Amino acid sequence: MSDEHANFAEFHRRSIEDRDAFWAEQARLIEWQTPPQQICDWSNPPFARWFVGGTTNLCHNAVDRHLAERAQQPALIAVSSETGSERVYTYAELHQEVQRMAAVLQSFGVQKGDRVLIYMPMIAEAAFAMLACVRIGALHSVVFGGFASSSLATRIEDAEPRVIVSADAGSRGGKVVPYKPLLDEALALSSHKPEAVVLVDRGLAPAALQSGRDHDWAALREQHLDAQVPCVWVEATHPSYTLYTSGTTGRPKGVQRDTGGYAVALAASMRHIFMAEPGQTYFCTSDIGWVVGHSYIIYAPLLAGMATVMYEGLPIRPDAGIWWSLVEKYRVTHMFSAPTAVRVLKKQDPEYLRKHDISSLKALWLAGEPLDEPTANWISDALRIPIIDNYWQTETGWPILTLCNGVQPQPSRFGSPGKAVYGYNVKLIDEATGEELTEPNQKGVVAIEGPLPPGCLQTVWRDDARFVETYWKSIPNRLIYSTFDWGIRDADGYYFILGRTDDVINVAGHRLGTREIEECIAGHPRIAEVAVVGVADTLKGQSAMAFAVPRDAAGLQDEAARQALEAEIMKRVDAQLGAVARPSRVLFVNLLPKTRSGKLLRRALQAVAERRDPGDLTTMEDPAALREIQAQLG
């Protein structure tokens, strides 16, 4: 690396001030059929068009271009602790399977610009389907497996897919989740009817095929064993996929991603953020239903010439050593997970970490929600490797804040996801005036000055007006992208995320971030995890209510013990944040309600606390968590 790039501050400055030259360099990390004619077209803000005139293909860059050097190297390692299956696909085998899937899609008329909706568990065929879509210029729209029929129907109507690829069932914690009945109901509800449904039958649940519409994948695959489907070269600005953001109400909000910008952004991130080398092994524990799965299970590791582990199962089944056994077996070098998963492991016997050889592991990256200091310290002590937080969104597709150790090694600061990543002109903004806050430790809205860097959303699918209105017009007096998160930045440029601007509660005229109260309570030595929500209060407008998971539930069996701990917590909040931030109640629970990807369902908690219907809980990991809370609240 040249001296010019050795300093991260200078690297970041160049990415903003000499934007086109910087991204022209990064564009050389992928292969183009036609080189870009213009690096960034920012003539119509806030719409950025990256690498205009260039033509490329995501599947070519993820699979085909590696065949010359690493055809026999592992590419996709598909593991299911639910079914006990494990299969390693080399780049050559992945290439063939993707062509078979592409041929099947083409046999149903799928072509460039068409949509294919993928509603699948974490199995290899889901990866084949995603790669097959971008191979032929079609857009994939992955919907989290097991999503409720009504929610699935709205996504089918919005995406209007020509074909749906699905499976008979998924499995979670040994419990089979049938998908086909949910899909059938969704298709009955939807006004849009696809031309075909391709079904992968895993033999987990009965799945009756509807004549003329539904087709068995295994039979179709047999017909196309020797398929040769060339990559369709598309404009860099051609959409690669849409992905619906979680928690949307009303009409779904489809994040639309481009092709060239996304490929360049991910390839650059593997070099500058993850320090990845071809031949290494990447294990991201997310799900393809979420953006992390799109970017760092499927595309980025393959773009980098790595093997990628695709895992179906829980982190504690068959035992709490399952992840570490995979690290040992496949010599995993890079691991990407979520703080929630680490907190789950923290409750298990530490012996599981010691019984496996994890010496291949270079670092653990975490994202999904803020990483609290106690959890960071625990996993750091346990693994003895760098623990690197990062912060981003479905909308951005890759990290906004983290440490770019591939540019310049920098120390982690637990509690902070890191610094602004190259390409992101991050600002802290006063939400009332729109003015930039430049002094250290001032609290403001985390915002990004346009243009957004490559890889971020182009727009909202079929709704440019919604894209502008939602993301670019919430801050007064300026056109700037809002993350809708509060943050502060210290004197060294490290950011600290304080929670959603819409998680702000108004207690008797005082605006409080629930994240600040959570951090305070989580610092109590007897608390493992906590969620705080604002609950309607006739006197104060809102009051804070805390739901805390104790480290030692057995020690809180009697009411007196619970009351004593609750009083301690109240006193702690009083001392650190002031009496106005004190929760009205602290409920002690065994589990917090979360999605299967580990996100806290704060809105569901709030609804239950306010005696309202919590809504669609299809993506919830364990509905018993909410039932327990409902019972406590009476």
Please report, rounded to a whole number, the percentage of residues in the chain having pLDDT higher than 90: 76
Query: Facing residues of 204 across strands?
Result: none
**Contact criterion met (CB below 8 Å) for 496 and 488:** yes
- Provide the 3-class DSSP secondary structure of residue 187: helix
3-state helix, strand, coil in the chain (%, to 5): 35, 25, 40
pTM recorded for the entire structure: 0.87
pLDDT one-digit tens code per residue, 383-399: 999 999 999 999 999 99
Mean pLDDT of the chain: 92
* Residue length of the chain: 634
| Residue among 584, 603, 582 at smallest CA distance from 592 | 603
pLDDT one-digit tens code per residue, 161-216: 999 999 999 999 999 999 999 999 999 999 999 999 999 999 999 999 999 999 99
Could you give all domains of the chain from N- to C-terminal order, each with its CATH number? Answer: 3-313+390-484 (3.40.50.12780), 508-633 (3.30.300.30)
DSSP single-letter state for residue 83 = T
Q: How many CB atoms lie within 10 A of CB 577?
A: 18
Rg (CA), the chain: 24
Residue 422 has pLDDT above 90, yes or no: yes
Helices assigned H by DSSP within 445-513: 464-467
pLDDT one-digit tens code per residue, 469-528: 999 999 999 999 999 999 999 999 999 998 777 777 778 767 677 888 998 899 999 999
pLDDT one-digit tens code per residue, 313-340: 999 999 999 999 999 999 999 999 988 8
Residue 241 has pLDDT above 50, yes or no: yes
| Residue among 605, 517, 524 at smallest CA distance from 567 | 524
pLDDT value of position 63 = 98
